[in-house]
Amino acid sequence: MSNNVISVRNLVKVYDKVTRALDGVSLDVEEGEIFGLLGPNGAGKTTLVRILTTQIPPTSGEAFILGKSIIEEAERVRELIGYVPQEISVMTDLTGYENMLFYSKLYGVPSSERKRRIENALSLVGLLDKANIVVKNYSGGMMRRLEIAQAIINYPKVLFLDEPTIGLDPSGRKAIWSYLSQLMEEHEMTIFMTTHYMDEADMVTDRLAIINLGKIVAVGTSSELKRSTKLESITIISKFHKEEVKNLLNSLPFVKQIYDGKEEGSVTAYVENAEEAVIEIISTLKENNVDVESLSMNKPTLDDVFLAYAGTKLEETTSALEARKVRRTMQRMR
């Protein structure tokens, strides 16, 4: 038995006979990971989460949560998971505590345990002192945290979060990240989250999969994916010793390719690992008494990774669009 908590095998989802939202998705998530699914609008992220949380069936393929089939054993799967949907789902006319009470009854938490568990979950997301405030007076970030508290009331083994920080301002997003990491420390849990924010995928996840047009195009840690683009490089500017610099760079085994830069005296060397290369290059230059005016390290971003694997840029416009969508939903609920 592998220790995969989530195992996805060749999932396909076709909506209305025409929209191929998932086009053969396979992936494995290990125990205790925060696994991220990064992709632009319409890539198929929510569709995958809905299938894994047994809300909609796949057209074909299979998936298992802790060895239980999402098709054959949907009820068992539901007992193992918690879920925070992309859309705001809290009841805004109730207090935080009342929302929690509703969920704890829904999940069958014994009445003798409810108060303790609710207070515990609320305190984990920093809302205990706001428990008796009506939710329509919460900020977007507080609503999101309440939803996370609801989703963990039943101590799930796997928590699914669909765009947990969508539409929040930077401080609201950071708060969610810090509560999530605290949560991981206090509960043995695996988190599967979707996002179209690159910084979130970069900072919060242990491993991530990039999804585009219903297909997984790359999987790995953020640094593995960045390294695999082969875009790590060192740029040196030396107006008077450029040829010597080039010769020295050429003699180093880890230098893959060298290009002249646009600026006078500039040369860029593509390397396997920029952090290690920069130390070696500086000492080689020093040993050979070659003066340089500047030396800089260039590392790819997840946007570069996205471009390399999906062939497009993960556009910033996506998030603005989404934020508007969420704000509209929230306004309707007030």
Ligand X SMILES: Nc1ncnc2c1ncn2[C@@H]1O[C@H](COP(=O)(O)OP(=O)(O)OP(=O)(O)O)[C@@H](O)[C@H]1O
Residue 43's binding partner out of ligand X, Mg ion, none, with CB under 5 to 8 Å set by partner kind: ligand X
Using the contact rule CB under 6 A, the part of the chain among 16-24, 25-33, 72-80, 112-120 near ligand X is 16-24
CA dihedral angle for residue 251, residue 255, residue 259, residue 261, rounded to 10 degrees: -100
The residue among 13 and 241 lying less far from Mg ion, judged by its C-beta, is 13
Binding of residue 242 to ligand X (CB under 6 A): no
Residue 15's binding partner out of Mg ion, ligand X, none, with CB under 5 to 8 Å set by partner kind: ligand X
Q: How far is the CB of 208 from ligand X (least distance, A)?
A: 14
What whole-number distance in Å separates Cα of residue 3 and Cα of residue 243? 54
Q: Which two tokens stand for residue 168?
A: 């929040």
Using the contact rule CB under 5 A, the part of the chain among 4-12, 13-21, 40-48, 316-324 near Mg ion is 40-48
Q: Kindly write down the DSSP assignment for every residue of 110-137, as one continuous string.
A: -HHHHHHHHHHHHHHTT-GGGTTSBGGG
Q: How far is the CB of 45 from ligand X (least distance, A)?
A: 3
The residue among 39 and 141 lying less far from ligand X, judged by its C-beta, is 39
Across the beta sheet with 60-65, the strand order is: 19-30, 4-15, 60-65, 68-69
What whole-number distance in Å separates Cα of residue 227 and Cα of residue 232? 7
The residue among 41 and 228 lying less far from ligand X, judged by its C-beta, is 41
Residue with tokens 């830069």: 261
- Cα maximum dimension of the chain: 79
Binding mask 77-106 for ligand X (x = CB under 6 A): ---------x--------------------
Angle at 247 between CA 244 and CA 253, to 5 degrees: 140
* Residue choice 38, 43, 46, 160 for contact with Mg ion (CB under 5 A): 46
Beta bridge partners of 37: 194, 209
* Residue choice 11, 21, 77, 135 for contact with ligand X (CB under 6 A): 21
Interface of this chain with Mg ion, residues 76 to 95, rule: CB under 5 A: 86
Chain residues binding ligand X by CB under 6 A are 15-16, 19, 21, 39, 41-47, 86, 196
